[in-house]
Amino acid sequence: IVRPFNEIPGLWKNGLANLYNFWKLDGFRNLHRIMLQNFNTFGPIYREKIGYYESVNIINPEDAAILFKAEGHYPKRLKVEAWTSYRDNRNRKYGVLLKNGEDWRSNRVILNKEVISLKMLENFVPLLDDVGQDFVARIHKKIERSGQNKWTADLSQELFKYALESVSSVLYGERLGLMLDYIDPEAQRFIDCITLMFKTTSPMLYIPPTLLRKIGAKVWRDHEEAWDGIFNQADRCIQNIYRQLRQETGTSNKYPGVLASLLMLDKLSIEDIKASVTELMAGGVDTTSITLLWTLYELAKHPNLQEELRAEVAAARAESNGDMQEMLKRIPLVKGALKETLRLHPVAVSLQRYIAEDIIIQNYHIPAGTLVQLGLFAMGRDPKVFFRPEQYQPSRWLRTESHYFRSLGFGFGPRQCLGRRIAETEMQIFLIHMLENFRVEKQRHVEVQSTFELILLPEKPIILTLKPL
């Protein structure tokens, strides 16, 4: 017999009291740990209301399958009101990230061909390979200048620049020059604005931004300023390409980048193109850079694994005569390492959908329209889902261990991450070049946890040492 919605365990009766307790637990930064704890207390399904944010939470891959089968024709995620409010106030269009319904679908179908189709990889790979080579050259220079034949640092700023340079070269078909010694201060400001934008979003998941705006709260003002910085810089890059395109007469065979391709295709309005390209540029910085930082950290913790990966890369290089696209087909363990990083250190703490139809999960009835969240961080660490989840084991993704609804770091289905192919390729190329050039080491006995600033970030700086091979 199916139990009713109202009998799902959890704290969902008093949103304000729950918000107060959440705030006392420093929940704005501990969301992932609180979710983990809730699954321990209530079991594999619980209902929750914090402030005005209400959801049903699940953890099992089999239940995730039920959730995604009910996502409907127009899958819809949690509405991040801080992001929509900003655009509403500034009269800016939503891009694919924030659109819904038919408007989302028609834009997404066109963007898919230019951004996430496998066919585009042959265009992206040479651009990303160049950035990877320049990054390695930059690190060699740092090592030389240190005079110690090694370089010890918090690599996050370097990785932000690598990520922005990579995604920009794909979007605009040209380089920003972030691998040089002196970089455009506007580009640095763009990077800082993205971090601030994410950080100021998380409290506004629970407290309506319109309210915070009315009372002139600092968090809203900072948020607005961060998006202003992001849009201004993206506008400058977009205008620049737009101008070049109008002046150009001859046709060259060179791949012109995602933006120019979309403009020439002429299937989306210029305003729609601008909105989505801005989101792609902003979405392409902290996500991949932090995932790479966590991967280097894990490789530093596991020197034998690091050597195994290096051997795989060397063999792939030899077999493919240095052709990068061929190489990418021969590095299953490197790809497993990236999956393993996203299992233990996912960018997104959860995946969510407003379900399009009634479903039954764990024998509870859940009505259509409910926000259902899959706890991705919690699932990645659940011993019922992953054998010895605390161990970083890239090879688990090569073995017969079930992968069914377990590799969800980029989301699922037609609403999954649009930047996925760019992100994966950029990260694989990065690891290839790093493994071919440096040994990564860390100080002993330093464990780093995650903190929630809308995306999950390392709670303190990760200090690594790079030594030339």
Q: Which residues here bind ligand 2DC, judged by CB under 6 A? A: 77-78, 80, 97, 205, 279, 282-283, 287, 347-350, 352, 417, 454-455
Nearer residue to ligand 2DC within complex by CB, 155 or 348: 348
| Closest C-alpha among 379, 396, 386 to residue 305 | 396
CA distance 96 to 349: 21
351 binds ligand HEM (CB under 6 A): yes
Q: What is the DSSP string of 199-247?
A: HHHGGGGTS-HHHHHHTT-HHHHHHHHHHHHHHHHHHHHHHHHHHHHHH
Nearer residue to ligand 2DC within complex by CB, 123 or 291: 291
Q: Which residue minimizes CB distance to ligand 2DC?
A: 283
Reduced to 3 states (helix: H, G, I; strand: E, B; else coil), residue 84 is: helix
* Binds 455: which of ligand 2DC, ligand HEM, none (CB < 5-8 Å by kind): ligand 2DC
Looking at residues 85 to 144 of the shown chain, list those that interact with ligand HEM (rule: CB under 6 A).
96-97, 108
Binding track over 402-431 against ligand HEM, x by CB under 6 A: -------xxxx--xxxxx--xx--------
Segment near ligand HEM (CB under 6 A); pick from 35-43, 173-181, 187-195, 275-283: 275-283
153 exposed, middle or buried (CB, 10 Å; 0-12, 13-18, 19+)?
A: middle
Least separation in angstroms between residue 234's CB and ligand HEM is: 12
Nearer residue to ligand 2DC within complex by CB, 276 or 306: 276
Q: Are 356 and 367 in contact (CB under 8 A)?
A: no
Least separation in angstroms between residue 199's CB and ligand HEM is: 18
Reduced to 3 states (helix: H, G, I; strand: E, B; else coil), residue 466 is: strand
Nearer residue to ligand HEM within complex by CB, 219 or 385: 385
> At a CB cut-off of 8 Å and minimum separation 6, what does 466 contact?
139, 143, 150, 151, 152, 438, 439, 440, 441
* Binds 409: which of ligand HEM, ligand 2DC, none (CB < 5-8 Å by kind): ligand HEM
Nearer residue to ligand HEM within complex by CB, 18 or 278: 278
Reduced to 3 states (helix: H, G, I; strand: E, B; else coil), residue 412 is: coil
Length of the chain measured in residues: 469
Nearer residue to ligand HEM within complex by CB, 142 or 339: 339
CA separation, residue 39 to residues 42, 57, 316, 345 (Å) = 5, 9, 42, 18
Nearer residue to ligand 2DC within complex by CB, 22 or 438: 22
Query: Given strand 53-58, what is the order of strands in its sheet?
Result: 45-50, 53-58, 371-375, 350-354
Binding track over 301-340 against ligand HEM, x by CB under 6 A: ----------------------------------------
Nearer residue to ligand HEM within complex by CB, 212 or 238: 238
CA distance 401 to 224: 46
Least separation in angstroms between residue 52's CB and ligand 2DC is: 13
CA separation, residue 156 to residues 36, 206, 219, 341, 342 (Å) = 27, 29, 24, 16, 17
Least separation in angstroms between residue 97's CB and ligand 2DC is: 5
CA distance 233 to 194: 11
Summarize as ranges the residues that interact with ligand HEM (CB under 6 A). 77, 96-97, 108, 167, 279-280, 283-284, 287-288, 291, 342, 347-348, 351, 409-412, 415-419, 422-423
